[in-house]
Amino acid sequence: MTEWDIYAALDFEKIYETMRKPAFIFDGRNILDHNNLFKIGFNVFPVGIPGTQH
């Protein structure tokens, strides 16, 4: 819900490792690197643009 840099700089690989699968990211501000998140393994759901799913 915010564009703070702290959210874009999180260690998403570590977060992914600890999550139940399938893992989802909902990016309501479109500040994250969706391609990188998809490569890590996330299903990415941004607002206003097509998402990526495994």
> Mean pLDDT throughout 34-46?
97
pLDDT at 5 over 90: no
Q: What pLDDT, on a 0 to 100 scale, did the predictor assign at position 52?
A: 93
Q: Is residue 13 part of a domain?
A: yes
> Mean pLDDT throughout 20-46?
95
> Mean pLDDT throughout 4-29?
93
Q: Is residue 30 part of a domain?
A: yes
Q: What pLDDT, on a 0 to 100 scale, did the predictor assign at position 19?
A: 97
How many Cα atoms are found within 13 Å in the side-chain-facing hemisphere of 19?
15
Alpha helices in 1-54 (DSSP H): 5-8, 12-18, 34-40
Percent of the chain with pLDDT over 90: 78
Domain count, the chain: 1
pTM as predicted: 0.86
Range of the domain at 27: 5-46
Q: Is residue 38 part of a domain?
A: yes
